[in-house]
Amino acid sequence: MLRMDAATASTALLTDRYELTMLQAALRSGAAQRHSVFEVFTRRLPDGRRYGVTAGIGRVLDAVENFRFTPAQLSWLADQQVVDAETLAWLADYRFRGDIRGYGEGECYFPGSPILVVEGSFAEAVILETAILSILNHDSAIAAAASRMAAAAGDRPMIEMGARRTHERAAVSAARAAYVAGFGATSDLQAGFEYGIPTTGTAAHAFTLLHDSERDAFTAQIDSMGRGTTLLVDTYDLTEAVRTAIEVAGTDLGAVRIDSGDLLMLAHRVRRQLDELGAVKTRIVVTSDLDEYAIAALAAAPVDAYGVGTSLVTGSGQPTCSMVYKLVARAASADPDAPLVPVAKRSAGAKASRGGAKWAARRLDGDGVAEAEVVGTGPVPPELRESLLHRELVRGGEIVGREPLSAARERHLRSRNQLPLSATQLSKGEPVITTEYTGG
pLDDT of residue 440: 65
Q: Are 285 and 307 in contact (CB under 8 A)?
A: yes
pLDDT of residue 1: 47
Rounded to whole angstroms, the Cα distance separating 133 from 40 reads: 8
Question: Would 136 be classed as within a structural domain?
Answer: no
Q: Are 303 and 267 in contact (CB under 8 A)?
A: yes
- Are 342 and 434 members of one domain? yes
Q: Which has the closest alpha carbon to 393: 384, 385, 383, 402? A: 402
The DSSP code sequence of 256-267 is: EEE-SS-HHHHH
pLDDT of residue 348: 63
Question: Would 133 be classed as within a structural domain?
Answer: no
The CATH number of residue 122's host domain is 3.20.140.10
The CATH number of residue 273's host domain is 3.20.20.70
Rounded to whole angstroms, the Cα distance separating 280 from 302 reads: 12
Domain that holds residue 299: 143-317
End-to-end CA gap in the chain: 39
pLDDT of residue 427: 85
- Are 57 and 162 members of one domain? no
The DSSP code sequence of 170-219 is: HHHHHHHHHHHTT--EES-HHHHHHH---B-----HHHHHHSSSHHHHHH
* Local structure of residue 345 (DSSP, 8 states): -
Q: Are 106 and 411 in contact (CB under 8 A)?
A: yes
pLDDT of residue 4: 45
pLDDT of residue 185: 98
- Are 115 and 160 members of one domain? no
The DSSP code sequence of 418-438 is: HS-GGGG--S--S-SSEEEEE
- Are 313 and 327 members of one domain? no
- Are 97 and 163 members of one domain? no
Rounded to whole angstroms, the Cα distance separating 440 from 429 reads: 28
Q: 182 Cβ partners below 8 Å, 6+ apart?
A: 146, 147, 149, 150, 151, 153, 158, 409, 412, 413
Phi then psi for residue 71, to 5 deg, are: -55, -40
* Tens of pLDDT, residue by residue, the chain (440 residues): 444 454 569 999 999 999 999 999 999 999 999 999 999 999 999 988 999 999 999 999 999 999 999 999 999 999 999 999 999 999 999 999 999 999 999 999 999 999 999 999 999 999 999 999 999 999 999 999 999 999 999 999 999 999 999 999 999 999 999 999 999 999 999 999 999 999 999 999 999 999 999 999 999 999 999 999 999 999 999 999 999 999 999 999 999 999 999 999 999 999 999 999 999 999 999 999 999 999 999 999 999 999 999 999 999 999 999 999 999 999 999 898 899 999 998 866 666 678 999 999 999 999 999 999 999 999 999 999 999 999 999 999 999 999 999 999 999 999 999 999 999 999 888 999 999 999 86
pLDDT of residue 8: 63
Rounded to whole angstroms, the Cα distance separating 59 from 403 reads: 11
- Are 238 and 192 members of one domain? yes
- Are 161 and 298 members of one domain? yes
pLDDT of residue 41: 98
- Total domains in the fold of the chain: 2
- Are 298 and 334 members of one domain? no
